[in-house]
């Protein structure tokens, strides 16, 4: 059995980059589908008292497991950066939830609805704005500063 001829390095690199792109799409799709399934489960659990905390813990464990798989493959310096970022995020999230706990949930939802509506209107307005008219090409300084003699038919002939 004859061996296949080696592909040119550019072709091989293109294939490898294509494989990486497909892997990113696969990861993104899996994360999206997982998230959608968790949202569906959460909605179903809202109908059953007491089961939501169990589901929240399950989602947290899954997300942490996925993060751990990625963390295993990064350098120590990046791990230190990740740890710092995680600690900062923890403080910000805890403070945000502490502030949110002061609000009436219905009032918070109304505020969120108004924000989404306002954002949608702003984006719609941006999309509707006409393109600005093209600006005339600037004149040369010499043409502006030095008066040009009037052109007559005699000058042309």
pLDDT tens-digit series, residues 91-141:
888 888 777 777 676 776 677 777 777 766 666 665 566 666 666 777 777
Residues 120, 89: Cα–Cα separation, whole Å: 28
Residues 63-89, buried b or exposed e (16+ Cβ, 10 A)? eeeeeeeeeeeeeeeeeeeeeeeeeee
Who has greater pLDDT, 47 or 17? 17
First to last CA, the chain: 85
């Amino acid at each position: 059995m004859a061996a296949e001829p080696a592909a040119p390095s550019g072709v091989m690199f293109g294939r490898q980059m294509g494989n990486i792109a497909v892997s990113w799409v696969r990861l993104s799709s899996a994360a999206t589908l997982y998230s959608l399934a968790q949202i569906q489960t959460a909605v179903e659990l809202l109908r059953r008292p007491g089961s939501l905390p169990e589901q929240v813990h399950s989602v947290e464990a899954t997300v942490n497991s996925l993060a751990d798989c990625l963390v295993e493959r990064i350098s120590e310096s990046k791990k230190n950066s990740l740890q710092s970022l995680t600690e900062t995020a923890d403080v910000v999230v805890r403070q945000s939830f502490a502030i949110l706990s002061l609000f009436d949930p219905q009032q918070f939802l109304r505020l969120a609805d108004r924000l989404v509506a306002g954002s949608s209107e702003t984006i719609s307005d941006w999309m509707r704005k006409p393109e600005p008219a093209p600006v005339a090409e600037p004149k040369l300084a010499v043409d502006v500063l030095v008066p040009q003699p009037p052109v007559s038919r005699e000058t042309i002939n």
